[in-house]
A and B are shown apart, each in its own frame.
Chain A
Amino acid sequence: MKFRKNVKSMVCAAVLVAVGFLTTTAPVLAQSALIDIEKRGVLRVGMSTFVPWAMRSKEGDLIGFEIDVATKLAQDMGVEVEFVPTAWSGIIPALIAKKFDVIVGGMSITPQRNLTVNFTRPYAHSGQQMAANTKLSGSFTSMDDYNDSSVTIACRRGATPCNFAQERFPKASLRQFDDDAQAFQEVVNGNAHAMISSAPKPRFWSEAYPDKVFVANDGKNLSQGDEAFALRKGDIDTLNFFSNWILVNESNGWLAKTHAYWFEDQSGWKDMVAE
């Protein structure tokens, strides 16, 4: 009896191991996402809420620079667009797990990210901007004053500003938050000296608290970023198509015009998001 039980458990274990092997060694068929998109008739775009790249209007609809870009891209391809709002920290794994075809999410090109995903040519150039607490850091004369162990800098977890802050201000202590709004709130509350985020959010927010927060570095960007679409590795056809779509829309001025509408000032779209 005991022997039979042992045999049973061994067979069971063997089956489990065999199933594991079968599922992990299944061949990966490399197919262009372009073909999938056309067959489906829908372009799936991964994005994350990030003012003014992508945000919610009063009606709860998605609006923003990226939304315009992806909508025009789908129009030019002759397919429908479908947005997949995704938590930023998991957006690259979600792309690799094929939850959508492309990330149009204001993602800056970095060598580290480029090791896991492919980037098109940049479709926007943003930069890092710093909002600082007037009481805590109003007396700072140069940007190097922020590089001090007594300084606290807030940023969004997993986003480029955190890496930037670490490199530019290695001595400062870093506090990471799940979204920018929380990071900014820390500055307003005086718990952090400054927060770093992609322009123009720090400027827009600072306008709401003129006597408590100011934009450091005389309002200029701290760095320049290159934002591009991110795609899965090994799909050269789609990469070529998207890159050239960006090139064409750069040349005809559509990208610059749309970028100016969303980034230069809020007057054009402020009514859409607030009363």
Chain B
Amino acid sequence: MCLLTPKSMDAMNRNAPPPEPRKKRLSPLDFIIYGVVIGFIYYAGYRVNDVLVYNWNWSRVFNFLVRYDADANNYVANLLLFGLATTLRLAVWATILAAIIGVVMGYWRTCDNLTLRIISRSYVELIRNLPPLVFIFIFYFFISSQLFPVLGIEDINRENQFVDSVMFQVMFGDPRLLSNFLAGALCLAMFEGAYITEIVRAGIQSVGKGQWEASRAIGLSPFNVLRDIIMPQAFRKILPPLAGQFITLIKDSAIVSLISIQELTFMATEVAATTTRVFETWILVGAMYFILCYIFALTFGWLERRATKNHR
């Protein structure tokens, strides 16, 4: 708080180096806040150790993360890591599908055509006003069990060269669980698609009216207006919220464990039931989700900064 008085202005030597910036000091209030937080953590630790009667045993739970394979003389992945891989696959596929749904529906939301607006609006309102759990049960037990037999997904040929390849394993996981996996991915995509629809709609509407009018005036077809003028501008604006939605989707994917999709949370219930190590399992799984989501948040933040730097 160094206000320049007229007197000091006079005394100021223009050639002198600028004064050092004031050092950032921790005020007593900061120390009090730190103290309270640390005290709270200690108290929680004390409660867990002394009041909660629990024999902590992490080794059995860690064993389900990676285990030592005596035959291969090596450490190999176990259930929880497989679950994590499935969660990642789910998130990637669901995001791709949800983005497709979101772009189409989001455009329809801004269309002049009433029917298209009714369809997209109904979709968004239906999904946004249902609890995710209820939607997932309805979808899984009624829609997916009608849809998949018609598509023949249950009876895919497992000896097929494409299905038997490593590529397929990386993309979809175990072929035996394909219909299970697709049900989960589709369910999440339908659900998240509604939110992406709104993001896309906001993006399209944020492009100025003049852009539409000008592009039409130079004689572009409606498709070209959208592809070459509107969407590129809209996408630049919606990328940050879209990235945020991807991270939300990873976390939301835990809910499909209730329809027995074999992802991280479902595997954790299996491990917790087998080992009876409930706290250890959930703390470990919580840490896994946190690390995964935080890495993505940092990556997206970095990408965003880079994109704006290049653009300006």
Q: Tell me, yes or no, whether A180 is within 8 Å of chain B by CB.
A: yes
Mask, A78-103, CB within 8 Å of B = 1, is 00001011110110011011110000
CB contact between B273 and one of A8, A49, A212, A274 (< 8 Å): that residue: A49
Contact B54 A189 (CB under 8 A): yes
Contact B79 A56 (CB under 8 A): yes
Q: A12-B118, A84-B180 are in contact. Are A90 and B272 (CB under 8 A)?
A: no
Q: Tell me, yes or no, whether B31 is within 8 Å of chain A by CB.
A: no
Task: Give Cα distance in the complex from A97 to B144, angstroms.
Answer: 9
Closest-CB distance, A47 to chain B (whole angstroms): 11
Task: Give Cα distance in the complex from A184 to B279, angstroms.
Answer: 12
Among residues 203 to 247 in chain A, which have CB atoms less than 8 Å away from a CB atom of chain B? Answer: 205, 208-209, 212
Contact B276 A99 (CB under 8 A): no
Closest-CB distance, A54 to chain B (whole angstroms): 9
Task: Give Cα distance in the complex from A9 to B117, angstroms.
Answer: 10
Contacts of B142 in A (CB 8 A): 97
Q: Tell me, yes or no, whether B49 is within 8 Å of chain A by CB.
A: no
CB contact between B269 and one of A8, A12, A178, A209 (< 8 Å): that residue: A178
Task: Give Cα distance in the complex from A82 to B155, angstroms.
Answer: 14
CB contact between B258 and one of A90, A179, A212 (< 8 Å): that residue: A90
Contact A212 B274 (CB under 8 A): no
Q: A85-B260, A99-B145 are in contact. Are A59 and B54 (CB under 8 A)?
A: no
Contact B274 A49 (CB under 8 A): yes
Considering the complex of A and B, which 6 residue pairs feature the smallest CB-CB distances, nearest first? A97-B145, A49-B273, A181-B276, A60-B79, A55-B274, A56-B274
Closest-CB distance, B93 to chain A (whole angstroms): 20
Mask, B105-146, CB within 8 Å of A = 1, is 000000000110011000000000000000001001110011
Mask, B264-295, CB within 8 Å of A = 1, is 00100111111111110000000000000000
Task: Give Cα distance in the complex from A208 to B56, angstroms.
Answer: 12
Q: Tell me, yes or no, whether A117 is within 8 Å of chain B by CB.
A: no
Mask, A7-41, CB within 8 Å of B = 1, is 01100100000000001000000000000000010
Contact B118 A9 (CB under 8 A): yes
Task: Give Cα distance in the complex from A84 to B261, angstroms.
Answer: 10
Closest to B82 in A: A60
Closest to A191 in B: B52
Q: A9-B115, A9-B118, A87-B266 are in contact. Are A58 and B257 (CB under 8 A)?
A: no
Q: Tell me, yes or no, whether A261 is within 8 Å of chain B by CB.
A: no
Task: Give Cα distance in the complex from A190 to B60, angstroms.
Answer: 24
CB contact between A184 and one of B55, B259, B269, B276 (< 8 Å): that residue: B276
Contacts of B64 in A (CB 8 A): 56, 60
CB contact between B260 and one of A51, A90, A185, A189 (< 8 Å): that residue: A90
Q: Tell me, yes or no, whether B53 is within 8 Å of chain A by CB.
A: yes
Among residues 76 to 120 in chain B, which have CB atoms less than 8 Å away from a CB atom of chain A? Answer: 78-79, 82, 114-115, 118-119
Q: Tell me, yes or no, whether B248 is within 8 Å of chain A by CB.
A: no
CB contact between A58 and one of B67, B258, B276 (< 8 Å): that residue: B67
CB contact between A179 and one of B140, B145, B272 (< 8 Å): that residue: B272
Contact A97 B53 (CB under 8 A): no
Q: A84-B180, A87-B269, A98-B145 are in contact. Are A182 and B278 (CB under 8 A)?
A: yes
In addition to A189-B52, A205-B276, 11 A-B residue pairs with Cβ atoms within 8 Å of each other are: A40-B155, A49-B274, A56-B270, A60-B78, A60-B82, A97-B142, A97-B145, A98-B149, A182-B278, A273-B274, A274-B60
